[in-house]
Amino acid sequence: MVVVTKKDHVINAVVYLILAIVVIISIYPVWYITVASFSSSDAVSTGKVVFWVKDFSLEAYKNVINTKNIWISYGNTVFYSVFGTLVNMILTVLGAYALSKKWLKGRRFFTIFIMVSMWFSPGMMASYINYRDLGMINNRWAILLIGAVSTYNVILMRSFFESIPDAMEESALIDGATDFKILFKIYLPLSKAALMTISLYYFVGHWNSYFWPMVLLQDETKIPLQVVLKKLVVQMNGMYSEKANMDYTVVSRETVVYATMVIAVAPMLFIYPFVQKFFVKGVMLGAVKG
């Protein structure tokens, strides 16, 4: 029987207190943005909004919904996130599958070669010149192919593949299965946790990406939502004033920014609960097997 002393209670209380503070610090910004987006402009500008909605208003959301540029950029974000993740997963799975084979000639060399990229980068200017010479300026393919493979995710996926018993592959080979059939019929079905975890990593990365789209994309009809948010927050270039006929006596730029942020974050909050069980399992197995 475990005896819990007074000292243990004190330590547990301190730990829970620290965790509670960390949770509040992490959640409060999102909470504030949400309640501020549903509050009136006057309440937000005068600092009345702290924890709850003040003077409930949907004017900010009405202006966002009526702004065509927002939905074009939103569609671009969905496109880059979905197809970018698809490209990422195809290359990651194929690379990890090959590296998981102990009989692969040069396996150690290739592993070290790709791991070097985790510590050394060509730099922003060299990367930009490379993309420019490849004709990726103002090209949607640039956003899909930049960072198409993450070394960390390849190593994580390889660890999952290596945890699958070799006997299963040997049995399939005896039955005449090809490498691709073994991959799709045995390895992938047994690696759902890893696939969901890594897909989430890639998807969130694409969804939040703004730097390279901002640098490489010049056409306003191709930029993702995060670039629009950057312009709203940092530059405040007034993209709504004429196109949306916005009445700033009713709604302010600040509440529009908050409403846009909520709309941008909403899909992530919706998707995460469905993949959480795979995400937790994937991270834990990766920590053990890696």
- Domain boundaries along the sequence of the chain: 68-239
Query: Could you give the CA distance from residue 108 to residue 86 in angstroms, rounded to a whole number?
Result: 27
| Residue 87: both structure tokens together | 């490209």
Which of residues 274 and 187 earns the better pLDDT score? 187
pLDDT band at residue 253 using 50, 70 and 90 as cut-offs = confident
pLDDT mean across residues, the chain:
81
pLDDT at residue 18 is higher than 90 = yes
Residue 224 contacts residue 80 (beta carbons within 8 Å): yes
Give pLDDT tens digits for 51-81: 888 888 888 888 888 877 888 898 999 999 9
pLDDT at residue 129 is higher than 60 = yes
Amino acid at 268: M
Distances 187 to 158, 160, 191, 287 between C-alpha atoms, Å: 11, 9, 6, 19
pLDDT band at residue 14 using 50, 70 and 90 as cut-offs = very high
| Residue 272: both structure tokens together | 């995460």
Residues for the chain: how many in total? 290
pLDDT band at residue 241 using 50, 70 and 90 as cut-offs = very low
Which of residues 275 and 262 earns the better pLDDT score? 262
Query: Could you give the CA distance from residue 195 to residue 193 in angstroms, rounded to a whole number?
Result: 6
Q: Tell me if residue 150 falls in helix, strand or coil.
A: coil
Q: Tell me if residue 67 falls in helix, strand or coil.
A: coil
CATH no., domain 68-239: 1.10.3720.10
pLDDT at residue 287 is higher than 60 = no
Percent of the chain with pLDDT over 70: 87
Percent of the chain with pLDDT over 90: 12
Q: Tell me if residue 176 falls in helix, strand or coil.
A: coil
Query: Could you give the CA distance from residue 151 to residue 148 in angstroms, rounded to a whole number?
Result: 10
